[in-house]
């Protein structure tokens, strides 16, 4: 008798696979995507325009806002770069943008605007400047802004540009927020208030109390997990490494992510950094990618929390501006993350952001070709479910079946149902359309007594068998040996005599796993066990 102790359904494919589904075209330099709580997408174009895309992928011919006259997009990394709607937008109509103002290297500016009486058109004359940072160079402008789960507005600034952070902005908490992330309350006194829980709010001296995190080079795209509130940052590297950083929700202790003292996981000895402490002083990235592998500017993504693709749920998805793959980070159960490639190509250079709509489905912008695509599950079908009855394991329907015993393939076990006799863990990988391979959860099988006339399992040698297999002593009461395949189909039988040595010819059997059944003269099962044939 064989029993199954567990048979739970696993909804996630391991590994997952995604694909990019066309959604909208005809945009000019899209660099950011946001939503205001309804079914519209608001797309930021770098020159200074915000456009609306309906749920059908149609781009509205009338811009939501056009501030090209005040946006400095003269450099490759300058322009209108970020957009965030107030959590209470439905009531107050307020939203925030981040852009490069002025001329030359310009000023990194955070401003508040309001919508007009037309919900599809902003009041372009309503600007209130909230925060300005003079930029010493034209690159590394950061630009992403987002409201955290605490209701405060977070703004990520680049280190000021040039190379190697020559002003050491990212490791300095005074004078400027460059190389830092600030956290401010925009719902109190004008232009903002500093939350009392900010890490350096009572530091005194010249420390800027609005700074919440430091050690960033160019946090181009980052965001909060919509379920947990955890922060994920794609911090663009310099010449060697791209990195993804993680910081748990609710921890306001002031993380330092390492730049310019470290790039990725390694120190930067080419820079004269006499004051850099050891690695323990910094928050290490949870994932790094080398420029030698084709990476150049990491595009931080989002943790998928939508409802349409349950396999993707809980996976942080990200890629790079340069032509590379998409990857997933997923908790490994030990405080870290497992990294998996989920798409071999991001479609070419130009990926500029990954963001959510109000339903928490994910969309991707490409600044070069002006497209918006949707991230979808390439294998959305349900994973197989295995059930057990009287020693038979049966999978739900798939196109193909590959069975595993203790994580090793069972040779020849490729049918929907298999008969098992050995204790251990079994699972099946089902093959589906689109070259999808989905894995069932394991079934733990315990053998609770195989024979009817004896407790000792009979011998079988050699294992694996090739030409012949021998039963050294045929157990009492046995009259016949039947060999069946894993689907239960009989492939051979041999009459035997109890107490004798029986030699069975298996030369004509294909390489596979079989079940050897010993039965008595009445056809009742006495004992059985698995046998592998390998020529």
141-164 burial code (b ≥16 CB/10 A, e <16): bbbbbbbbbbebbbbbbbbbbeeb
119 and 199 co-located in one domain: yes
Whichever domain contains 389, its CATH number is 2.60.40
CA atoms within 13 A on the CB side of 130: 27
108 and 151 co-located in one domain: yes
For residue 184, is it within any domain? yes
Among residues 226, 382, 358, 235, which one has the least CA distance to residue 304? Answer: 226
442 and 474 co-located in one domain: no
For residue 350, is it within any domain? no
| pLDDT value for 12 | 43
Listed residues 263, 289, 315: the one ending a domain = 289
For residue 16, is it within any domain? no
Series of mean pLDDT values for 10-residue runs along the chain (535 residues): 33 75 98 98 98 98 98 93 98 98 96 98 98 95 97 98 93 96 96 98 91 98 98 97 98 97 88 78 97 98 97 97 98 95 96 98 98 97 90 93 94 89 91 93 73 61 92 94 90 94 94 92 88 91
Number of domains in the chain: 3
479 and 440 co-located in one domain: no
* Residue 90: DSSP 8-state: H
| pLDDT value for 76 | 87
Verify cis geometry, omega within 30 degrees of 0, for the bond prior to 516. no
Verify cis geometry, omega within 30 degrees of 0, for the bond prior to 185. no
d(CA 197, CA 351): 35
Listed residues 289, 305, 325: the one ending a domain = 289
> What's the domain range around 128?
27-289
233 and 124 co-located in one domain: yes
| pLDDT value for 456 | 60
d(CA 305, CA 326): 17
418 and 474 co-located in one domain: no
255 and 203 co-located in one domain: yes
For residue 89, is it within any domain? yes
430 and 482 co-located in one domain: no
For residue 358, is it within any domain? no
438 and 474 co-located in one domain: no
126 and 245 co-located in one domain: yes
| pLDDT value for 51 | 98
| pLDDT value for 62 | 98
For residue 455, is it within any domain? no
For residue 406, is it within any domain? yes
113 and 165 co-located in one domain: yes
For residue 245, is it within any domain? yes
pTM given for the model:
0.84
| pLDDT value for 128 | 98
Whichever domain contains 89, its CATH number is 2.120.10.30
Listed residues 239, 254, 289: the one ending a domain = 289
Grouping H, G, I as helix, E, B as strand and the rest as coil, residue 109 is strand
400 and 272 co-located in one domain: no
């Amino acid at each position: 008798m064989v029993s199954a102790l567990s048979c739970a359904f696993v909804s996630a494919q391991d590994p997952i696979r995604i694909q990019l589904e066309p959604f909208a075209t005809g945009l000019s330099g899209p660099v950011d995507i946001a939503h205001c709580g309804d079914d519209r997408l608001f797309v930021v174009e770098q020159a200074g325009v915000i456009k609306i895309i309906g749920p059908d992928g149609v781009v509205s011919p009338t811009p939501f806002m056009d501030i090209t006259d005040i946006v400095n997009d003269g450099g490759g990394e300058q322009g209108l770069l970020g957009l965030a709607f107030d959590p209470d937008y439905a009531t107050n109509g307020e939203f925030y943008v981040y852009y490069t103002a002025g001329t030359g290297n310009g000023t990194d500016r955070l401003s508040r605007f309001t919508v007009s009486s037309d919900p599809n058109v902003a009041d372009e004359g309503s600007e209130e400047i909230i925060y300005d940072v003079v930029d010493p160079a034209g690159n590394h402008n950061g630009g992403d802004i987002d409201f955290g789960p605490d209701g405060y507005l977070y703004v990520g600034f680049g280190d000021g540009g040039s190379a190697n952070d020559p002003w050491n902005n990212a490791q300095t908490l005074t004078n400027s927020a460059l190389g830092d992330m600030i956290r401010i309350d925009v719902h109190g006194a004008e232009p903002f208030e500093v939350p009392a829980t900010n890490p350096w709010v009572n530091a005194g001296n010249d420390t800027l109390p609005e700074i919440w995190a430091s050690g960033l080079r160019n946090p181009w795209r980052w965001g909060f997990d919509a379920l947990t509130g955890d922060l994920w940052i794609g911090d663009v590297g310099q010449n060697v490494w791209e990195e993804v950083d993680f910081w748990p929700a609710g921890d306001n202790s002031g993380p330092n992510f390492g730049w310019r003292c470290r790039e990725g996981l390694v120190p930067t000895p080419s820079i004269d950094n006499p004051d850099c402490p050891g690695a323990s002083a910094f928050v290490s990235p949870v994932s790094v990618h080398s420029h030698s592998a084709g990476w150049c500017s990491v595009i931080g993504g989002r943790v998928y929390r939508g409802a349409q693709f349950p396999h993707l749920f809980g996976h942080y998805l990200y890629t790079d501006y340069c032509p590379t793959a998409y990857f997933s980070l997923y908790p490994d159960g030990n405080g870290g993350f497992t990294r998996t490639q989920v798409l071999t190509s991001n479609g070419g250079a130009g990926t500029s952001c990954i963001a959510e709509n109000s339903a928490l489905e994910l969309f991707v912008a490409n600044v070069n070709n002006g497209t918006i695509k949707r991230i979808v599950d390439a294998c959305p079908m349900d994973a197989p479910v295995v059930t057990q009855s009287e020693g038979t394991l049966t999978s739900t329907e798939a196109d193909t079946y590959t069975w595993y015993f203790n994580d090793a393939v069972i040779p020849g076990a490729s049918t929907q149902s298999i008969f098992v006799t050995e204790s251990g863990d079994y699972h099946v990988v089902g093959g589906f359309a689109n070259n999808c391979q989905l894995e069932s959860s394991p079934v733990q099988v315990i053998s609770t007594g195989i024979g009817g006339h004896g407790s000792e399992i009979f011998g079988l040698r050699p294992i694996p068998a090739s030409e012949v297999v021998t039963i050294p002593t045929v157990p009492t009461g046995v009259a016949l040996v039947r060999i069946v395949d894993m689907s239960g189909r009989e492939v051979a039988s041999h009459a035997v005599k109890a107490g004798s040595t029986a030699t069975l010819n298996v030369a004509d059997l294909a390489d596979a796993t079989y079940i050897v059944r010993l039965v008595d003269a009445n056809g009742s099962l006495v004992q059985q066990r698995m046998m592998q044939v390998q020529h």
